[in-house]
Amino acid sequence: MKSKRLYNNYILIYKMIIYNLRIIFANRFIWFLAGSILFYIGLSVIYVFSNDVSKMEDLYGIFLFSGILLVFYPSVFGVQNDQDARTIEILFGIPNYRYKVWLVRIVLIFIIAFLIMFVFTILSSYFIVKFRIANMTSQVMLPVIFLGAMAFMLSTVIRNGNGTAVVMIVFGMIFLILSDPLSKSQWNVFLNPFDMPRDVNETTWAIITFKNRIILITGSILFLLVALYNLQKREKFM
Question: Would you state the pLDDT for residue 4?
Answer: 66
Q: Is the dihedral of CA 172, 173, 176, 180 positive or negative?
A: negative
Helix boundaries (H) for 2-28: 2-24
Question: Would you state the pLDDT for residue 68?
Answer: 93
What is the residue extent of each domain of the chain?
2-236
Question: Would you state the pLDDT for residue 100?
Answer: 66
Question: Would you state the pLDDT for residue 152?
Answer: 92
Q: What's the chain's length in residues?
A: 238
Mean pLDDT, contiguous 10-residue spans, the chain (238 residues): 65 69 71 86 78 70 92 82 60 58 84 93 87 92 95 88 89 88 89 87 92 96 90 62
**What DSSP string describes 209-238?**
HHHHHHHHHHHHHHHHHHHHHHTT-GGGT-
**Is the pTM higher than 0.95?**
no
Q: For the chain, what is the radius of gyration of the CA atoms?
A: 19
Question: Would you state the pLDDT for residue 168?
Answer: 92
CA distance 23 to 81: 9
CA distance 70 to 109: 8
CA distance 135 to 125: 12
First to last CA, the chain: 39
Q: Is the dihedral of CA 196, 198, 203, 207 positive or negative?
A: negative
131's enclosing H/E stretch is: none
Question: Would you state the pLDDT for residue 98?
Answer: 52
